[in-house]
């Protein structure tokens, strides 16, 4: 019997010659990538005018698989790189996809300042509660009490609530989803891509290999099951009320959606004002 080889309809968005990817089976990153690709497909975004920028980490590898101009920068520096790219080439749609450690530990300073300036980029922050790439160390979002390779007795640090940070720093669009909410996530990415200014989506993602197995969720499905049983959608809630704690409900939804002039717009206005004749 002959089996007809059919191309996956999403192939055109991928660098097919780079597949298979490096991620573990059960990793949440495939769902994030899939949601992103469907969002750009449904928005019919010109791939030649889309740039994806990543930092370093398992999440940071996303840029390398997408068939657009894609930039895999240094650890923590995706946002300032994206800032320069967007300012120098405003016709590009610029998206940063990176991990919790990359964006909020080593790169935390850049995140808050890009949000404050309202740089016109979308940031998708994949929160898997740990540093996957380097073997499961604790990170700025590791919940209190969670076991990681550098918190072998349980985490004693208070974690960031990323959506609260984004809101406080001035982001115009803030949402949180888990990888269980694949369709809602895709719709949210579409909204964020259409938003003028600094938009941020936190995606809670399973990392069975380095996080789950040390925290009583050794199977990827355990984490998905947990999301199903414990996440509640609360659109419009003050993000400060959406902390993440072990074993407690995960509040998801769109928390912030406001309008504010962007840095690009301010620069263009300034240029008009001072331009030499």
Ligand X SMILES: Cc1ncc(C[n+]2csc(CCOP(=O)(O)OP(=O)(O)O)c2C)c(N)n1
Residues 122-161 that bind Mg ion (CB under 5 A): 128
**Nearest distance from residue 33's CB to ligand X, in Å?**
12
Q: At CB < 8 A and 24+ separation, what contacts does 257-262 make?
A: 257/172, 257/173, 257/174, 257/191, 257/195, 258/172, 258/173, 259/172, 259/196, 259/197, 260/118, 260/170, 260/172, 260/197, 261/118, 262/118, 262/119, 262/120, 262/196, 262/197, 262/198
- List the single partner that 274 binds among ligand SF4, Mg ion, other proteins, none, CB under 5 to 8 Å by kind: other proteins
Q: Which one among 54, 122, 128, 215 touches ligand X, defined by CB under 6 A?
A: 128
- List the single partner that 24 binds among ligand SF4, Mg ion, other proteins, none, CB under 5 to 8 Å by kind: ligand SF4
**Nearest distance from residue 69's CB to Mg ion, in Å?**
25
Neighbours of 110 (CB within 10 A): 22
**Which phi and psi angles does 57 have, rounded to 5°?**
145, 180
When asked if residue 142 is in the footprint of ligand X (CB under 6 A), the reply is no
**Structure-token pair, residue 124:** 């998708």
**Structure-token pair, residue 52:** 């994806």
C-beta closer to ligand X: residue 92 or 203: 203
When asked if residue 7 is in the footprint of other proteins (CB under 8 A), the reply is no
Query: Token match 């998905």: residue?
Result: 224
Length of the chain: 277
Question: Which 8-state DSSP code applies to residue 13?
Answer: G
Q: Are 235 and 253 in contact (CB under 8 A)?
A: yes
When asked if residue 133 is in the footprint of ligand X (CB under 6 A), the reply is yes
When asked if residue 209 is in the footprint of other proteins (CB under 8 A), the reply is no
Q: Which one among 70, 122, 148, 210 touches ligand SF4, defined by CB under 6 A?
A: 210
When asked if residue 188 is in the footprint of ligand SF4 (CB under 6 A), the reply is no
Residues 105-144 that bind other proteins (CB under 8 A): 109-110, 113
Beta strands in the chain (DSSP E): 50-54, 69-72, 93-99, 122-127, 173-178, 199-204, 231-233, 250-257
**Nearest distance from residue 110's CB to ligand SF4, in Å?**
22
Q: By the criterion CB under 8 A, which residues form the site for other proteins?
A: 15, 17-18, 47-49, 51, 53, 63-64, 67-74, 76-77, 80-89, 91-92, 109-110, 113, 263, 267, 270-271, 273-276
Q: By the criterion CB under 5 A, which residues form the site for Mg ion?
A: 99-100, 128
Q: By the criterion CB under 6 A, which residues form the site for ligand X?
A: 56-59, 75, 99-102, 126, 128, 130-134, 139
Q: By the criterion CB under 6 A, which residues form the site for ligand SF4?
A: 23-24, 27, 29, 58, 128, 132-133, 207-210
């Amino acid at each position: 019997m002959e089996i007809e080889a059919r191309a996956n309809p999403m192939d055109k968005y991928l660098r097919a010659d780079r597949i298979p990817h490096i991620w573990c089976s059960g990793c949440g990153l495939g769902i994030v990538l899939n949601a992103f690709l469907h969002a750009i497909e449904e928005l019919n975004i010109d791939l030649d005018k889309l740039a994806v920028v990543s930092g370093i980490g398992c999440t940071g590898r996303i840029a390398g698989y997408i068939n657009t101009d894609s930039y895999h920068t240094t650890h923590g520096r995706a946002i300032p790189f994206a800032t320069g790219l967007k300012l120098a080439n405003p016709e590009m749609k610029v998206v940063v996809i990176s991990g919790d450690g990359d964006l909020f530990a080593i790169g935390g300073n850049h995140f808050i300042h890009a949000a404050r300036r309202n740089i016109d980029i979308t940031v998708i922050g994949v929160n898997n509660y740990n540093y996957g790439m380097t073997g499961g160390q604790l990170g700025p979002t590791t919940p209190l009490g969670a076991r990681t390779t550098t918190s072998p007795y349980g985490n004693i640090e208070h974690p960031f609530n990323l959506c609260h940070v984004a809101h406080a720093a001035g982001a115009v669009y803030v949402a949180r989803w888990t990888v269980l909410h694949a369709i809602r996530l895709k719709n949210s990415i579409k909204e964020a891509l259409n938003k003028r200014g600094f938009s941020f989506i936190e995606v809670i993602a399973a990392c069975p290999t380095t996080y789950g197995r040390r925290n009583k969720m050794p199977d990827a499905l355990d984490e998905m099951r947990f999301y199903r049983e414990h996440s509640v959608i609360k659109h419009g809630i003050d993000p400060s009320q959406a902390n993440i704690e072990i074993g407690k409900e995960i509040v998801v939804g769109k928390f912030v959606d406001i309008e504010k002039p962007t840095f690009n717009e301010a620069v263009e206005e300034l240029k008009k004002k001072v331009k030499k004749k």
